[in-house]
Structure 1
C-alpha cells in the first residue's frame, strides 16, 4: 500500500498502491466489492504523479462501481461494446446493422477496440477526417456518435463524440485512382482475382468498370432490369432522380448471361432474398480499386476512345447541359459501349491497342 508518514492519512486513499514493474509504474486500487476483493487500475505514473491524483481517479471509479455504471457492471468496456449494446436494442434492419459492423471492421477496428475512457477527440478525428470521401466521413461519424451516445447513457461518462464535426465546406474530393492511369491499369487483374474468391462481388465490380454505374445502382439491379434481346440495362432511379436506360457492351452481356439466376437480384447474398451490400474496395499488392474508381476509369476510357461529351454524359447517366440534350432521345448506342469496353481492355493490357475502335475516326 502507498503510505507517506509526513502526511495525514486520507481515507479515500486506502487500498491504493503503486505497482512497480520492470519498465512501468501503475497506480492500483484494491477494494472489497460485492464480497470480493477487486483490483482496479487507476492509471500510470507519471501521468498520475501523486497518490492524491490517483485518489481522485479512485473516487470517480468507485462512484461508478457503486452506481453500477462502471465497465464491469455494464459490460461496456470498449466502443465496440457500446455499438453492440446499441444494435441489440435497435429496430434497424439486419442490413443496416451489418453495414455498421462492416464500416467498423474496415475503417475503425483499432478505435473501437479501445477502452471508452482512453478515447479522445483526437482519436476520433484521426480516424474520420482526411482519409475518406465526404459520404464515408459522415457515415463513420454517425456510427461513432451513435456508439458514444449509448456509452454515455449506460456508463454516465462524458460523450467525446459531441464535438466530432465533419467539415463539408473545406472538403476537396479525391478524384484520382491510386495507380498511374497513364500506365497499364491493374483493374481487370484485381477483378479477376476477386472473382476467384467471390464470383458475385467480382462480377459487380466488372459491371461497374464496363458501365460506369454507381455501386448503389449496381447492387440493387434485378433481372427484370436487364433486356438481353435489346442488350440494355435499366436503372430505376439514378442519383439525379431519373430513370436510365443504358446500352451494354458485348462483354457485359456475356458477363450477365453467365451469372446464376436463382434470385430476383442480379447480385444476391447467399440466402438469395437480399442483394449484396455496398462492396468494399479491392486490394491487390499496393494497388487499391474503389467502387467509384470504376466510374473514373470508365470515363477516362470513353474520352480516350474519342467519344463525344454528350454520349459520355448519357452513358454515365448525367444530366446533359444544353438545349440539344433536352431534345436528344438517346444518342448513346451499343456501338459506343463496345468502344469503351475495348478501350478499357487495352488500358488493362487485355488487348493490344490495334483493337481500339475510334468512333471519331482519328488515329
Structure 2
C-alpha cells in the first residue's frame, strides 16, 4: 500500500468512489495511521499487528481530530502494541476504571448526604400498593414526628419509635447505633419498640437489595446482638375472654350506644375474623339467602367464604345502609369503621373486666371453640388460618354447609353462656337477656 504525507488539502480532497464502500489513505509519517473514507464519513484509524494478528482501531472523525493529534495517537497505540498490550483492552479497562471512579464518587456523595428518611420515603412509595391500610398506618405512626396535634383529644403526639433513626444519615446506621436505640425505647414502650424494629428490619433488607442504597448501608448492622436486644414483649396468651366472662361482656357490648360498634365487636367473637377483615366487609360480600359471608383474607388472596350464623345475621340486618360498608362510619374518611377500641374499652369498664384487646376477641373464638369440640381444621378454615397439616393443606376443603353446622353450634353455645335468648323466629322482634 502506498503512503503519502498527510496534509489538510489531501485529507479534504480524498473521497470514496461511488463503486466502493470504503477506501484508505495511509500516512507516511506515522506507521499504522490511515484515513478511512466512506460515502458518509472520514475518520482516522490505526492498524497494527498484535501477536501476529492484524488489529484495527478507530481513532476518531477528522472534524474533531487534527492531523498532529491523530499521528500522536497512532504512535501511542504502536507503543502499547510494542509492549505487548492490546490497545482495545487498555481502553476498555480505562473506561471501566472511570465508571468505577464515578460510582465511587456517587456513593461517597450519598454517604455524606442521604438520610434514612429519604430512603424510608422511597421504600414506602415503592411498596405501599401491596400493603393494607393498617400496615401503611403502622409505618406512618412509627415514623411520625413529635409535637403534632392529636387527632383525638387534646395535646400533641410523641415521636414515633423510628423517628430518631430517620433523622440520621443512612451510612451512620450500624449495630452501635441500634443497640442503644433499642435499650432506650424498650424501657417505656417495649411492644411498640419490637413492632418498630420489625418494620425497620424489612426496610433494611429492602435497602440491601436497592441498586443505590446497597452500597451505602452497613449490611451487617442487624447483628446477633441487635436481634437478641429486641424486646420480647407481645400480646399475652391471656388476652382473651373466658367462658365465665361472656355474660358480662355481652351485656355491656350490647348496651353500647353505637349499634355499629356493638355489632362489630360481637361479630369478631362470633367469627374469629381479623379486625381489618370484618371492618372491610361490604354489603355485596353477604349472601343472605345462602347464609354466607365473603371475607377478604390476608392468607388467601381470593378470600374465604364463611357461614353467616343466625344471631350475627340478626345484628347485621338491623344496621343502617349508609354506603358500601356493613360496619359504616359517617365520620371516617373512607366511610367504614376505623377505631372500635374506645367502645370496647367502655364496655370492658362497664362489665368490670380486665383489658382485652380487639384482637383478643379473635383469640377468644379459637379458645372457646373447643367447648363445642369444633375440629381444629374447621376452626382454621373459619378464622382464615394457614393450614398446618399436610392433609389440611392438600385434601380438606370443607363445604359451607359443614362449616355452618359447627359454626352454628358454636354461636348457640356462646349465646347460652352469655345469657342471650335467641331463636330465628324472634329476629324481627328483637332479643332478650336471660336473667
TM-score normalised to structure 1 length = 0.52
Alignment deviations for residues 161-220 of structure 1 (CA, whole Å, 9 cap, x no partner): xxxx89796636434345772533343234224x31x22222211111111000010111
Indicate the residue corresponding to 1:322 in structure 2: 390
Question: 1:241 Cα deviation (Å)?
Answer: 3.6
In the alignment of these two chains, the number of paired residues is: 238
The structure 2 residue matched to 1:344, chosen from 397, 405, 414, is 414
Match for residue 299 of structure 2 among 211, 221, 239: 239
Aligned to 1:313, the other structure's residue is in SS state: helix
Name the CA shift for 1:132/1:253 in 2 (closer, same or farther; >3 Å). farther
In 2, the alpha carbon distance for the partners of 1:309 and 1:176 equals 18
1:80-101 CA distances to partner (integer Å, 9 max, x unpaired)? xxxxxxxxxxx99x99789968
Summarize the Cα distance change of 1:126–1:244 in structure 2 as closer, same or farther, 3 Å threshold.
same
Alignment of 1:276-287 (within 5 A): 276-280=337-341, 282-283=344-345, 284-285=348-349, 286-287=353-354
1:293 deviation in Å? 1.1
Could you say if the C-alpha distance between residues 180 and 214 of structure 1 is closer, same or farther in structure 2, counting changes exceeding 3 Å? closer
Q: Give 1:333's aligned residue.
A: 403
Q: Provide the TM-score with structure 2 as the length reference.
A: 0.44
Please list every run of 5 or more consecutive structure 2 residues that lacks an aligned counterpart in the other structure. Answer: 1-124, 164-179, 202-225, 423-435
Q: Structure 1: how far apart are the matches of 2:193 and 2:261? A: 22
Question: 1:257 is matched with which residue: 313, 317, 327?
Answer: 317
Describe the SS at the equivalent of 1:171.
Answer: coil
Alignment of 1:32-47 (within 5 A): none
Aligned partner of 1:80 in structure 2 is: none
User: Separation in 2 of the partners of 1:191 and 1:100?
Assistant: 31
CA offsets per residue over residues 237-289 of structure 1, 9 Å max, x none?
Answer: 33354520001210111111111112011122215752222532622224223
Query: Are residues 204 and 329 of structure 1, via their aligned partners in 2, closer, same or farther at CA, if it must alter by over 3 Å?
Result: same
Hey, what does 1:308 align to over in structure 2?
375
2:86 alignment partner in structure 1 = none
Partner of 1:112: 158
Three-state SS of the structure 1 residue aligned to 2:299 is: coil
CA contact (8 A) 1:231 1:248 kept: yes
1:187 aligns with 2:257: no
1:289 is paired with a residue whose SS is: coil
Q: Is the 8 A contact 2:239 2:357 kept in 1?
A: no
Structure 1 residues 79-127: Cα deviation after superposition (integer angstroms, max 9, x where no partner): xxxxxxxxxxxx99x99789968x99699x79729xx9xxx96774334
Distance 2:331 2:240 in 1: 36
* CA-based RMSD: 4.6
Pairing 1:1-363 to 2, within 5 Å after superposition: 112=158, 124-129=185-190, 131=191, 135=195, 171=232, 173-178=234-239, 181=242, 183-185=244-246, 186-193=248-255, 195-196=256-257, 198-270=258-330, 273-280=334-341, 282-283=344-345, 284-285=348-349, 286-320=353-387, 321-331=389-399, 332-350=402-420
Rg comparison, structure with higher value: 2
| 1:304/1:340 CA distance change after superposition, 3 Å | same
- Partners in 2 of 1:240 and 1:256 — Cα distance? 25
Asked whether the 8 Å contact 1:175–1:296 carries over to 2, the reply is no
**Deviations 1:314-343 (CA, angstroms, capped at 9, x unpaired):** 111122222254233324422221111122
Asked if the contact 1:179/1:287 (under 8 Å) is kept, the reply is no
Question: Which has the larger helix fraction?
Answer: 2
CA contact (8 A) 2:269 2:364 kept: yes
Structure 2 CA distance, aligned partners of 1:307 and 1:343? 12
Q: Would the alpha carbon gap of residues 174 and 262 (structure 1) be closer, same or farther in structure 2, given more than 3 Å must change?
A: closer
SS of alignment partner, residue 234 of structure 1 = strand
Q: Is the 8 A contact 1:212 1:315 kept in 2?
A: yes
The Cα shift of 1:135 comes to 4.4
**Cα offset, 1:223, TM superposition:** 0.8
Q: Equivalent residue for 1:154?
A: none
Matches of 1:191 and 1:99, distance apart in 2: 31
